[in-house]
Amino acid sequence: MHEVAIAQSILDLVNERAAGGAFTRVHAVRVAIGALSSVEPDALSFGFDAVTSGTVAQGAKLIIDRTPGRGFCMTCVTEIDVPARGVECPGCHGHQWLVVSGEELKVKDLEVD
Protein backbone atom coordinates (compact mmCIF):
# COMPACT_ATOMS: atom_id res chain seq x y z
CA MET A 1 0.00 0.00 0.00
CA HIS A 2 2.02 2.95 -1.29
CA GLU A 3 -0.59 5.40 0.05
CA VAL A 4 1.01 5.24 3.52
CA ALA A 5 4.31 6.42 2.02
CA ILE A 6 2.45 9.20 0.21
CA ALA A 7 0.72 10.18 3.46
CA GLN A 8 4.14 10.32 5.15
CA SER A 9 5.42 12.59 2.38
CA ILE A 10 2.44 14.90 2.90
CA LEU A 11 3.18 14.97 6.62
CA ASP A 12 6.86 15.71 5.92
CA LEU A 13 5.79 18.72 3.86
CA VAL A 14 3.49 19.90 6.67
CA ASN A 15 6.30 19.48 9.22
CA GLU A 16 8.66 21.52 7.01
CA ARG A 17 6.16 24.37 6.96
CA ALA A 18 5.56 24.14 10.72
CA ALA A 19 9.28 24.04 11.58
CA GLY A 20 9.64 27.81 11.22
CA GLY A 21 6.99 28.38 13.88
CA ALA A 22 4.44 29.70 11.40
CA PHE A 23 1.75 27.51 12.96
CA THR A 24 1.32 24.98 15.75
CA ARG A 25 -1.75 23.04 14.67
CA VAL A 26 -3.14 21.75 11.40
CA HIS A 27 -6.91 21.39 11.04
CA ALA A 28 -7.11 20.35 7.40
CA VAL A 29 -4.92 19.44 4.47
CA ARG A 30 -6.39 19.72 0.96
CA VAL A 31 -4.85 17.59 -1.77
CA ALA A 32 -5.62 17.18 -5.47
CA ILE A 33 -5.47 13.61 -6.75
CA GLY A 34 -5.82 12.87 -10.44
CA ALA A 35 -8.14 10.11 -11.60
CA LEU A 36 -5.18 8.48 -13.37
CA SER A 37 -2.70 8.78 -10.48
CA SER A 38 -3.15 5.22 -9.16
CA VAL A 39 -3.74 6.62 -5.67
CA GLU A 40 -6.68 5.15 -3.75
CA PRO A 41 -8.32 8.02 -1.78
CA ASP A 42 -9.67 5.83 1.05
CA ALA A 43 -6.28 4.19 1.56
CA LEU A 44 -4.59 7.62 1.56
CA SER A 45 -7.05 8.89 4.20
CA PHE A 46 -6.38 5.82 6.33
CA GLY A 47 -2.62 6.25 5.96
CA PHE A 48 -2.83 9.96 6.74
CA ASP A 49 -4.71 9.28 9.99
CA ALA A 50 -2.07 6.70 10.95
CA VAL A 51 1.04 8.79 10.25
CA THR A 52 -0.25 12.02 11.78
CA SER A 53 -0.79 10.53 15.23
CA GLY A 54 1.24 12.53 17.76
CA THR A 55 2.11 15.33 15.29
CA VAL A 56 0.91 18.90 14.65
CA ALA A 57 -1.52 17.34 12.15
CA GLN A 58 -3.08 14.84 14.54
CA GLY A 59 -6.84 14.85 13.97
CA ALA A 60 -6.53 16.99 10.84
CA LYS A 61 -9.02 16.34 8.10
CA LEU A 62 -7.61 15.21 4.75
CA ILE A 63 -9.74 16.84 2.05
CA ILE A 64 -9.35 15.14 -1.31
CA ASP A 65 -10.25 16.88 -4.55
CA ARG A 66 -10.41 14.41 -7.43
CA THR A 67 -9.30 15.85 -10.74
CA PRO A 68 -10.52 14.25 -13.97
CA GLY A 69 -8.38 12.38 -16.42
CA ARG A 70 -7.89 13.69 -19.95
CA GLY A 71 -6.31 11.89 -22.84
CA PHE A 72 -5.39 12.50 -26.45
CA CYS A 73 -6.71 9.86 -28.84
CA MET A 74 -4.16 9.30 -31.57
CA THR A 75 -6.78 7.76 -33.86
CA CYS A 76 -9.45 10.48 -33.50
CA VAL A 77 -6.81 13.20 -33.06
CA THR A 78 -8.83 14.77 -30.24
CA GLU A 79 -8.81 15.18 -26.47
CA ILE A 80 -11.10 12.87 -24.55
CA ASP A 81 -12.33 12.43 -20.98
CA VAL A 82 -10.62 9.43 -19.41
CA PRO A 83 -12.13 8.20 -16.12
CA ALA A 84 -9.50 5.45 -15.64
CA ARG A 85 -6.57 3.77 -17.31
CA GLY A 86 -7.38 1.09 -19.86
CA VAL A 87 -10.72 2.52 -21.01
CA GLU A 88 -11.47 2.92 -24.66
CA CYS A 89 -11.92 6.15 -26.56
CA PRO A 90 -15.62 7.04 -26.61
CA GLY A 91 -15.30 8.17 -30.25
CA CYS A 92 -13.46 5.33 -32.01
CA HIS A 93 -13.45 2.69 -29.21
CA GLY A 94 -9.70 2.37 -29.59
CA HIS A 95 -7.06 2.25 -26.87
CA GLN A 96 -4.37 4.34 -28.50
CA TRP A 97 -4.49 7.43 -26.32
CA LEU A 98 -1.93 9.35 -24.33
CA VAL A 99 -2.43 10.91 -20.89
CA VAL A 100 -2.79 14.69 -21.05
CA SER A 101 -3.75 15.28 -17.41
CA GLY A 102 -5.04 13.45 -14.38
CA GLU A 103 -1.85 11.98 -12.91
CA GLU A 104 -1.24 14.77 -10.41
CA LEU A 105 -0.95 14.46 -6.66
CA LYS A 106 -0.30 17.75 -4.90
CA VAL A 107 -0.96 19.51 -1.64
CA LYS A 108 -3.16 22.51 -2.44
CA ASP A 109 -3.48 24.20 0.95
CA LEU A 110 -3.45 23.85 4.70
CA GLU A 111 -5.89 25.12 7.33
CA VAL A 112 -3.79 25.96 10.38
CA ASP A 113 -3.59 27.87 13.71
pLDDT, tens digit (0-9, with 9 covering 90-100), for 39-51: 999 999 999 999 9
Q: How many residues does the chain have?
A: 113
**Mean pLDDT over each residue of the chain, to the nearest integer:** 95
Q: Exposed, middle or buried, 67 (CB in 10 Å: 0-12/13-18/19+)?
A: middle
Tell whether the model's pLDDT for residue 78 goes beyond 70: yes
Share of the chain above pLDDT 70, in %: 99
Region 21-45: mean pLDDT is: 95
Domain spans in the chain, listed from the N-terminal domain onward: 3-68+102-112
**The listed CATH number (3.40.50.720, 3.30.70.870, 3.30.2320.50, 3.40.50.300) that belongs to domain 3-68+102-112:** 3.30.2320.50
Tell whether the model's pLDDT for residue 9 goes beyond 80: yes
**Residue 1: per-residue pLDDT:** 62
- pTM confidence score: 0.86
